Structures are given as structure tokens and as C-alpha cells.
Structure 1
Amino acid sequence: MSGRTGPLSDVRVLDLTQALAGPYCTMLLADLGADVIKVEPPTGDMSRSMGPHPADRDGCDYGGYFASVNRNKRSIVLDLKTDAGRETLFKLVKTADAIVENAKTGVMDRAGVGYERLREINPALIYAAIRGFGDPRTGASPYSDWPAFDIVAQSMGGLVAVTGPNGSGGFKAGPGVGDIYPGTLAALGVVSAIHAARRTGQGQFLDVAMYDAILALCEMIVYNYASGIVREPTGNGTAVLCPFDIFPTRDGAVAIAAPGENHWKILCEAIGRPELVTDDRTRNVNRRVANAELVRGILTEWTTAHSTREIVDAIGGKVPVGPVNTAKDIFEDPHPKARGMLVEVEQPGNNPPLVIAGCPIKLTGTPSGIYARAPRLGEHTDQVLADAGITIARKEQS
């Protein structure tokens, strides 16, 4: 693994986040080259204790969860409940472009390290917050003081209500979308605000509410409802395109999307039903949507008679198609390896390397990448302080 080569190599971020939403935000910034300093309390980020754990627990104080979203970061321990800890943070703030936190509303203010205090120290500082329901500085929500997790954001933002089988009460998405998408938007906000600060010399406060982010992700339900249409779970299909579904195969499942007339024609020929191209029930996408059950039935009859591999071989590259991959399938697929999406990272202690998901943002001139494993708690405290020109005995930091 090489050093920081991404387009943000001249950016320094103080990361006061825990769990997933905040660390995912700063992970993206670090993958893009930013010097991300993870400021942890003496007990560490809560996610350090979450598995899966390596065999040598003494040599590695974190599991796969922490390893994945805290790569490329340096860890420093500061107890912000103490005067010494806060004073050290204030000195670090002078050297930073941005600070990111995802505490509940008011927590950082009560600790004496909120936006207004840090702005006094560094007027160009970008202060980014990720909260369940936002911060009163950008819009006071009646739920501002409520705690929130991924599943709450998915539910309140509308995602659950449109996910799952027809007629169900809704299903949550498998990944932590309620954390990861807000974190992604926050990373974009941080980069945008730094750009503005370097032009004007003035920093600013920004926040992303998890509820807001999922609502934005589900933008389709908004304009539909405003038009008098209530979107409900549609299973593995969609109410406006056909075919656009997950179909069972002899040994698994496959996605097929052929709403366009050219793809539909190719698909009909591939399954041995060319007459469907001119059949009044299926001759265009509107007729196929109106007769979706017929279309799905015909395609299911074909897919269940073949293996997933046979189907992909028959129409791959001609019609949008893809197997429903498990993690095992992904590890065996040449695409993720070719694209650098499965990255082997060393682990501390007497532990073998761990494979984690790579950075999907690919740049040719200033490449992103994973150049360092996640840090042990406080691993870089002395180094970070020295870089910032701070000479304080370790015992005074906490």
C-alpha cells in the first residue's frame, strides 16, 4: 500500500465520529487522500468491539466493522471531558480544514467544543454534523433530541415502506443505507464547503440529517404522492417498467431489465418467443406494464428451466442482465478484482490480512486508494501532536 495520492491530499480532517454514518463519511475523505485524524475518547469508538474479530485479540483491538470504515486514518486519544483534552483539540483545530462529528444534538456544545467555540479558534473551519434529525442551526426538527439508528432513518425516510413483497408492511434494506447514504452526502458537503472556504476564507456549519438523506434517496415517492400516487412495496419489480425484475433460475436468481423495445426484441428471440414483439399485450413497454404478470410468468418459465450461468451466457452483453451474487460469488467474479474493489489489508498483531471493500471513486490523475490499515486506539497520538507542533506529555491529554 502506497501513501496518500488522492485529490484531497492537502486536506486535514478531525474525525470525532463513532459507529457507521460519521466514520463512513471520513473514510471516503481519507480514501480520497485527506489526512483524517480520528479523535477517540479513552474508551475508543464504540464499534471497535464489534466483530468479526481476528484470532489475536490482544494484538488487534478492533474487528472487521471498524477495520472496514476506519482505514487510512490516524488515531489519537483525547478526553474532551477534561480541560487538557479540550485544549489539545483546540490546538489541532488550528491546523484543520474540517471537523466531523455525529453526536446527538447539543452534546458537543455542552462539552465546550461546539461549532461556535471552534469557529473562534479557526474562522475558516468547516464543521460537519451528521444527526438523526438534523441540527437546529439548519432547521429545528420536532425530533431534534431523538436518538436514531439506521433502521429508524430507513423507516421514517420512506425506504422501508416501498421495499419488500407486494402487500407487505415494508422491509429494511440489507446494508446500513440509513447510515451510509447520509455519510456519503456529508462527505460531499465537506468537500464543497472546503472549496468555498478556500475561496472566501470563511468556514461554515453544515449538517446532514439521516431522515433527510433517506427521504432524498426516496425522491420518487415524493413527486408521486404530490401527483396523487402512493407508492407501495413492489417486490422485485417496479410499477413503471417491465420486464425489470429478479427472476428465479434453476440454481439461484438473476436480474433482467428489458423495458426498451430493442432489448425486448433481443430477449424475446433469446427465449424462443419472437411473436411477443408484435403481440398486442407485450408490443411496447406500456402494454407490458399493463400485463406485467403475463410477462413475468413467461420469463419465469424460461429462467427456471436454466441455470444462472446459462442465462447470463445467453443474453449477457445484449440485454441488461446480472446474477444475484452472494459474497462468495463476488469474490469469484473477475470484475471486483479488476476494479480494485476487494483490497487485502494487513492487520496488527499475529493476524492474517483482511479483505475489505475498496473505494469506488476512481481517478486517473490523483488516484484514491487504501494505503493504511485501521489504527489501534491512540496509535498515532504522539505522531499527530508532533505534526501539529504540540509538545504535551501524554498524561496531560486525558
Structure 2
Amino acid sequence: MEPKFWAAFCEGVGREELIVEQFAPPGSPAHRQLEMVFAARTRAEWSRFASEVDCCLEPVLEVDEALASELARERGMVVELEQPGVDGPVRALSCPVRLSRTPAEPRRLPAPGLGADTRAILGSVYTVEEVEELISSGAAKAADWEPTAPSSTADAARAS
């Protein structure tokens, strides 16, 4: 934080003595005092504080709040893609890099359908028999696998 904003913050919270402690390391007495200052207010109270005091302070948003924010909308940070096997579009993050001469235009290809690559991925670690057992037991999902009626008592118990 720039010194002018740090000073404004410290003055705004009535802790001017912390101005000289701007670069105190984590775990220091000054750092612990700041933890108490922040813990004393809710996020809503800090938002009001930031609107009144020019100290370059913004709330930490939850992921859904950040993605729904005006800034994310203005920057086109969220795109909608068609996804096989899903009804309606899926929201995904766009490329955050914005270059004027070489703008990022990634191809908007959907992710593979659920289970589309299961055999290939598991097959890099397990034998074919082990992969098929994982799929038939329900521990893994393959796009082309259809459950069949249990053929034995053990299969029936596993299916329930």
C-alpha cells in the first residue's frame, strides 16, 4: 500500500501510531494490532469505511460475488459456453490478459463430457482390467458405460 493510503487508513481507524509500522513483518506486535483492528468490524462496516476514507481499501469478495461484480462484467471475465451433457450454457472464466495488438481469442471449445477421457487417464496408471473394475464398481464413470443387471450375489451387494 502506498504510504499516503497507509497513513489515511491508520488515521481513519484512529491508530496514527501504526503509521511508522507500515512494513512491520507478520507476527510482529504491530501486525497483531492490525489483526485486532480488522477483526473489530464487519465487511459491511469496512466497506462503509472505505467509501469515506481514501485509503485504497476494498473488501475480499467470495468467488460468486467477484464473478458477478461490475468489474468482472466490464472486463468480460465470465463467458458462457455450451457443454455437452449439460442443459443450458456453462459459465467459465475468460482469459484475464488484455493485449491491444495481440488480443487473446482462445477457442471456446467445451470441456470433454463427463467420463469421456476416463479410460485414457486411468489407463496411464492402472491395467485395463483394473480400469474396467473401477468403472463397473461405480468408483469411476465412463461416458460409454451402461450398468447391467448384477450377475452374482457379490455384484448385487456392490450395486446396492
Residues 266, 319 of structure 1: 8 Å contact kept: yes
Q: CA separation in 1, counterparts of 2:35 and 2:70?
A: 28
Give, in angstroms, the shift of residue 359 of structure 1: 0.4
Q: Does 1:331 align with 2:67?
A: yes
Measure, in 2, the Cα distance between the counterparts of 1:350 and 1:284: 53
In structure 2, the residue matched to 1:267 is 9
| Equivalent residue, structure 1, for 2:97 | 361
SS at match of 2:5: helix
With the length of structure 2 as denominator, give the TM-score of the two structures.
0.54
Percent pairwise identity: 24
Return the offset for 1:298. 2.5
Cα offsets for 1:172-225 (capped at 9, x unmatched): xxxxxxxxxxxxxxxxxxxxxxxxxxxxxxxxxxxxxxxxxxxxxxxxxxxxxx
Mapped contact 2:81–2:90 kept (Cα < 8 A): yes
Inter-CA distance 314–369: structure 2 relative to 1 (3 Å threshold) = farther
Task: Give the RMSD, CA atoms, in angstroms.
Answer: 3.1
| CA distances 1:345-387 after superposition (whole Å, capped 9, x unpaired) | 122356211111100111234432355332769xxxxxxxxxx
Output the amino acid matched with 1:302: V
Between the two proteins, the alignment pairs up a number of residues equal to 112
- Determine the C-alpha separation between the residues in 1 that align with 2:11 and 2:35: 15
**Residue aligning to 2:50:** 315
Q: 1:184-195 maps to which residues of 2 (within 5 A)?
A: none
Q: Which amino acid aligns with 1:269?
A: E
- Tell me: higher relative CO, structure 1 or 2? Use CA pairs within 8 A at least 6 residues apart: 1
1:292, distance to aligned residue in structure 2 (A): 5.0
Contact 1:346–1:352 (Cα < 8 Å) also in 2: yes
Q: Which has the higher strand share?
A: 1
Structure 1: which 5+ runs fail to align?
Answer: 1-257, 278-282, 378-398
Inter-CA distance 318–354: structure 2 relative to 1 (3 Å threshold): same
User: Relative to structure 1, is the Cα distance of residues 370 and 355 closer, same or farther in structure 2, using a 3 angstrom cutoff?
Assistant: farther
For 1:341, the aligned partner's letter is M
- Give the equivalent residue in structure 2 for 1:36: none
* 2:137 match: none
Q: 3-state DSSP class of the match of 2:110?
A: coil
State the secondary structure of the residue aligned to 2:28: helix
Q: Counterpart of 1:273 in structure 2: which amino acid?
A: R
Equivalent in 76, 81, 89 of residue 345 of structure 1: 81
Structure label with greater radius of gyration: 2
Amino acid at match of 1:332: A
Matching residue of 1:298: 33
Change (3 A) 1:375 1:333: closer
Contact 2:21-2:30 within 8 A present in 1 as well: no
Identify unmatched segments of 5+ residues in structure 2.
Answer: 114-160
C-alpha distance in 2, partners of 1:285/1:295?
9
**In structure 1, C-alpha distance between the alignment counterparts of 2:39 and 2:98, rounded to whole Å:** 37
| Equivalent-residue separation in structure 1 for 2:111 and 2:21 (angstroms) | 56
